[in-house]
Structure 1
Amino acid sequence: MKAGEDAMFAISLGDDGAELRPLEVWHAAEYLAHMDRGREYIGRYIGLPDRVTDLASATALLQSYADKAAADIGRLYGIWLDGVLVGGVLFKTFDVASGTCEVGCWLEEAGVGRGLVTRAIRVLIDWAVEQRGMHRVEWVAASGNTASINVAKRLGMVRDGVLRESFPYRGVRHDMEIWSVLAREWRDRDRSGRR
């Protein structure tokens, strides 16, 4: 299947050729190529490039999210720009019983500075709140990851706190910031046109 042939499952993210699509097991080779292109940039704060090193590990990661989607506890989506996979967003956790989920993202350098993650996360939050009835959407980012924290701010999230030196990654213990938006806050932003 060529790039773009799964467009019937795509959501346009604007007029710049960006699309949000489910990132599925059959995308493993494309996903690995994307990780190879962005390995250094993506890996500064998140471990995806460390987990995806060959076709088997790419397939396994995508299968794990297919399993999560089937169990309704997580989901994974890719961001394509002009038919090229440049990043993605996900529901890292999705707990219907508690009404809480965590969203996250990654992006290779070729997609930076276009607002792709902010636009894609808006789609996820809209769906989680309006279709699935989620009460709270969380965002967790290393304090040094200013790009990620700026996305949380643009989405109108509130900084709940900092887990000091809670995340050991590549030999460094990182402070992790917890941001969130509640369903009523999200709807209020929608009504006021501030999204």
Structure 2
Amino acid sequence: MLSLRLAGDAELRALEPWQAEELAEHVAAAQEFLDPWLPWVDSVATPDGAARLLQRYADAQARGEGRIFGIWVDGKLSGGVLFRVWDAATGVCEVGVWLAPEVTGQGLVTRAVTHMIDWAFHVRGMHRVEWRCASTNEPSRRTAQRLGMTLDGTLREASQHKGKRYDVEVWSVLAAEWPTKR
């Protein structure tokens, strides 16, 4: 199994369709914590829904258009990171993340996304990496700042979840900035 150590007991590795049941169990256990920020949580908290999501990313990866990785802590799936959007023609991609509440505050997302940004810029030749989050999601905003991203602006009421509208902040870092921003 290919993996990348993030911390002593944490590793980043591919999250694949055959792991749908493990993903569904993880999301169901963290559902209340994740739900305010991630509109896909309800649909992925079942094995069938998780399988659909993971197959969608496997297909996207085969086309060179996206990727999804899990974060395992002590052998337990505890979160993930993904290239939610990947547009090689324009050189722009978007990173997305989630983490179970019991492993927040350890720098796991920051470390994982740092590796992803390095790969996007230095291996795949991307020009811009974006990070989008609800303007009320303080942990996500702080992570974008730790990554050295710049707040490009706010898309007012651009997201709707469970009948409520949210402002979405767009953060980014450019390839030319990346070595000095970290």
Task: Supply the distance in 1 between the matched residues of 2:41 and 2:54 (Cα, whole angstroms).
Answer: 13
Segments of 5+ residues of structure 2 without an aligned counterpart are none
Tell me the TM-score normalized by structure 2: 0.97
SS in 1 for 2:131: strand
SS in 2 for 1:93: strand
The residue type paired with residue 96 of structure 2 is G
Give 2:20's match in structure 1, choosing from 28, 39, 48: 28
SS in 2 for 1:133: coil
Note the 1:178-193 alignment, pairs <5 A. 178-189=170-181
Deviation string 1:13-65 (CA, Å, 9 cap, x unpaired) is: 122x1100000001111101101110010111112312213211111111000
The residue type paired with residue 10 of structure 1 is S
Instruction: Identify the residue that residue 11 of structure 1 maps to in structure 2.
Output: 4
* RMSD of aligned alpha carbons: 0.9
Tell me the TM-score normalized by structure 1: 0.91
Q: Is the 8 A contact 2:25 2:46 kept in 1?
A: no
Segments of 5+ residues of structure 1 without an aligned counterpart are 1-7, 190-194
Instruction: Identify the residue that residue 55 of structure 2 maps to in structure 1.
Output: 63
Instruction: Identify the residue that residue 75 of structure 2 maps to in structure 1.
Output: 83
Task: Supply the distance in 2 between the matched residues of 1:53 and 1:130 (Cα, whole angstroms).
Answer: 35
- Cα drift, residue 179 of structure 1: 0.2
Instruction: Identify the residue that residue 4 of structure 1 maps to in structure 2.
Output: none
The residue type paired with residue 21 of structure 1 is R
Matched, 1:177 2:169: yes
Instruction: Identify the residue that residue 93 of structure 2 maps to in structure 1.
Output: 101
Q: Is the 8 A contact 2:132 2:169 kept in 1?
A: yes
Q: Percent identity?
A: 49
SS in 2 for 1:184: coil
SS in 1 for 2:7: coil
